[in-house]
């Protein structure tokens, strides 16, 4: 697949490099849109799009009636969490401690009155519930016998066509015959792992990494290798290449766009290098692109699949985080592994529910999805900024907060003396939940970190919840 980088991204990269090298420093005024358009010989719209990208990355800030000003990475790195440095060894640990915490949180979330800052899904008020209901009723009318019959093994044909069509937004040239539907993204990841690994293999992941990915990998008798990860640009590719060179890694499972919990997004150049590196060593990449549609910049980031020449990238996604969590509609485009994955699905998970897939296909068919996504992204970006500001106002000095470029989650790093697992217990009487950082690793790390979800609209109750967390942290430090 031949992917050319859009002109506005080229301009954004050129300016971003100057910021990273210190050619432009904090507070420097950037050229006006019109001036830069004339200097570079590009359209005004191209420059505006480039500035939007840099603003979404936090490299520049727009000042009303004044223009754009530089923010440097050095200034930002004083605020964002530190780069992770996990041990360079594969683990196959017992998850019993994490399981007990997660089960307790699940029980709490079923009880009325809880503020679930731990729950990484969009609030129902952000989703098109009534329109989905109509799409579901339409699906029941369209499908034979109201949808009670088995669906095709590969999945609903209309949905697969819509997923292939929607891939055109990032330059994808997929066809529906290359896509298999699954029960959510976790179902897709599980099928992929069963397809490309054998028990005892090592899977490379980000660190910190979503605990559900850890659970899935370990449940299949596999080992986990956590990679050093930058809070802005993702995994350290030099470290990964070293492991590939020595044969320590059999598969990579990564979330290149808006990883959970950091929210970081690998630059396109990093994604391209990653795919080329894996092609050199013939190592498959399971790409979890669950959050790719929830970008704050004007355009969707390219998935690694966009750079795949040899079919080594198994591209996974779902509508659980953007449209209908309870429908459990996901998919995978497994590249060269299609036949094997299809057989595993046939043997182990069988048919997918057709009626919910047809309903999602109906919703996508007339571009209602993109309109919904634009509104959802705006709300999430606003939520993120308000959550961040409240944390800055009420958490102790020195607190580090991630700068997600999309998705739902904030990663917060507080004073090393704070134990967020103990903080979780202290929050229980207030009926506030968050996720302690220790859940996101198999190694003894991130004990002073937490993940907070901004999937709920910011209101007085959310503000109270964040303030309460900050107060309890202050109390821990005062002991």
Query: Which pTM was predicted?
Result: 0.84
**Confidence (pLDDT) at 23:** 63
Is 244's pLDDT higher than 90? Answer: yes
**Lowest pLDDT segment from 92-96, 248-252, 373-377, 434-438:** 92-96
Q: Which value, to the nearest 10 degrees, does the dihedral of the CA atoms of residues 187, 334, 206, 183 take? A: -10
Other C-beta atoms lying within 10 Å of the C-beta of residue 459: 10
**Confidence (pLDDT) at 380:** 95
Is 76's pLDDT higher than 60? Answer: no
**Confidence (pLDDT) at 57:** 66
User: What φ, ψ does residue 436 adopt, rounded to 5°?
Assistant: -65, 145
Is 432's pLDDT higher than 90? Answer: yes
Between 205 and 150, the more confident residue is 205
| 3-state SS class at 411 | strand
Mean pLDDT (whole number) for 463-469: 97
Mean pLDDT (whole number) for 21-28: 65
Between 96 and 228, the more confident residue is 228
Band (pLDDT 50/70/90 cuts) for residue 74 is: very low
**Confidence (pLDDT) at 284:** 98
Give the CATH fold of the 100-123+374-478 domain. 3.90.1150
Between 167 and 468, the more confident residue is 468
Is 77's pLDDT higher than 50? Answer: no
Band (pLDDT 50/70/90 cuts) for residue 148 is: confident
Give the CATH fold of the 7-77 domain. Arc Repressor Mutant, subunit A (1.10.10)
Is 21's pLDDT higher than 60? Answer: no
**Confidence (pLDDT) at 306:** 94
Q: Domain locations in the chain?
A: 7-77, 100-123+374-478, 126-369
Between 11 and 399, the more confident residue is 399
| 3-state SS class at 464 | helix
- Over the stretch 178-233, which tens digit does the pLDDT of each residue have? 999 999 999 999 999 999 999 999 999 999 999 999 999 999 999 999 999 999 99
Band (pLDDT 50/70/90 cuts) for residue 6 is: confident
| 3-state SS class at 130 | helix
**Lowest pLDDT segment from 104-113, 243-252, 379-388:** 104-113
Cα radius of gyration (the chain): 22
Band (pLDDT 50/70/90 cuts) for residue 28 is: confident
**Confidence (pLDDT) at 5:** 65
Is 11's pLDDT higher than 90? Answer: no
> What is the phi-psi region of residue 314: left when phi exceeds 0, alpha when psi lies from -120 to 50, beta otherwise?
beta
Q: Which two tokens stand for residue 135?
A: 């799409």
**Confidence (pLDDT) at 350:** 73
- Over the stretch 269-315, which tens digit does the pLDDT of each residue have? 999 999 999 999 999 999 999 999 999 988 889 999 999 999 999 99
**Is residue 278 a contact partner of residue 284, using CB atoms and an 8 Å limit?**
yes
Band (pLDDT 50/70/90 cuts) for residue 396 is: very high
Mean pLDDT (whole number) for 137-143: 87
Average pLDDT, the chain: 90
Give the CATH fold of the 126-369 domain. 3.40.640
**Confidence (pLDDT) at 423:** 96
Percentage of residues in the chain having pLDDT higher than 90: 66
**Is residue 329 a contact partner of residue 319, using CB atoms and an 8 Å limit?**
yes
Is 39's pLDDT higher than 90? Answer: no
CA separation for the pair 106, 439 (Å, rounded): 14
**Confidence (pLDDT) at 64:** 67
> What is the phi-psi region of residue 448: left when phi exceeds 0, alpha when psi lies from -120 to 50, beta otherwise?
alpha
Is 2's pLDDT higher than 70? Answer: no
**Confidence (pLDDT) at 3:** 45
Band (pLDDT 50/70/90 cuts) for residue 144 is: confident
> What is the phi-psi region of residue 234: left when phi exceeds 0, alpha when psi lies from -120 to 50, beta otherwise?
left
């Amino acid at each position: 697949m031949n992917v050319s980088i859009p002109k506005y991204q080229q301009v954004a990269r050129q300016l971003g490099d100057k910021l990273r090298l210190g050619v432009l420093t904090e507070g420097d005024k950037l050229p006006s849109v019109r001036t830069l358009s004339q200097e570079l010989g590009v359209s005004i719209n191209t420059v505006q799009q480039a500035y939007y990208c840099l603003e979404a990355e936090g490299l520049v800030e727009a000042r009303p009636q004044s223009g754009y000003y530089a923010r440097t990475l050095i200034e930002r790195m004083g605020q964002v969490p530190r780069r992770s440095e996990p041990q360079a060894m594969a683990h196959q640990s017992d998850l019993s401690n994490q399981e007990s915490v997660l089960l307790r949180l699940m029980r709490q979330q079923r009880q009325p009155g809880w503020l679930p800052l731990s729950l990484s899904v969009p609030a129902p008020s952000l989703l098109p519930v009534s329109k989905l209901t109509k799409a579901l009723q339409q699906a029941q009318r369209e499908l034979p016998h109201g949808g009670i019959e088995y669906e095709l093994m590969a999945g609903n044909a209309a949905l697969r066509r819509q997923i292939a069509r929607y891939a055109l937004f990032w330059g994808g040239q997929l066809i529906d015959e290359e896509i298999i539907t699954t029960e959510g993204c976790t179902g897709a990841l599980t099928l992929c792992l069963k397809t490309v690994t054998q028990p005892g293999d090592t899977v490379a992941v980000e660190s910190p990494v979503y605990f559900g990915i850890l659970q899935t990998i370990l449940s299949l008798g596999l080992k986990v290798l956590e990679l050093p990860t930058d809070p802005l640009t993702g995994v350290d590719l030099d470290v990964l290449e070293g492991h590939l060179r020595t044969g320590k890694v059999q598969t990579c499972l990564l979330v290149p766009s808006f990883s959970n919990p950091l929210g970081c997004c690998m630059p396109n150049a990093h994604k391209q290098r990653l795919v080329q590196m894996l092609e050199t060593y013939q190592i498959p990449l399971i790409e979890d692109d669950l959050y790719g549609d929830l970008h704050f910049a004007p355009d969707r980031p390219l998935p690694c699949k966009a750079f795949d020449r040899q079919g080594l990238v198994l591209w996974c996604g779902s509508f659980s985080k953007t449209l209908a969590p309870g429908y459990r509609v996901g998919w995978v485009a497994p590249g060269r592994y299609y036949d094997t994955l299809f057989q595993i699905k046939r043997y182990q998970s069988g048919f997918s529910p057709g009626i919910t897939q047809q309903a999602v296909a109906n919703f996508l068919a007339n571009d209602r999805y993109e309109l919904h996504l634009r509104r959802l992204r705006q709300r999430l970006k606003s939520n993120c900024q308000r959550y961040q500001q409240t944390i800055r106002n009420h958490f102790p000095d020195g607190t580090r907060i991630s700068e997600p470029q999309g998705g739902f989650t904030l990663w917060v790093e507080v004073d090393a003396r704070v134990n967020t697992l103990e903080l979780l217990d202290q929050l229980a009487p207030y009926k506030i939940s968050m996720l302690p950082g220790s859940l996101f690793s198999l190694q003894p790390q991130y004990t002073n970190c937490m993940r907070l979800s901004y999937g709920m609209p910011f209101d007085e109750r959310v503000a109270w919840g964040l303030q309460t967390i900050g107060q309890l942290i202050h109390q821990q430090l005062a002991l």
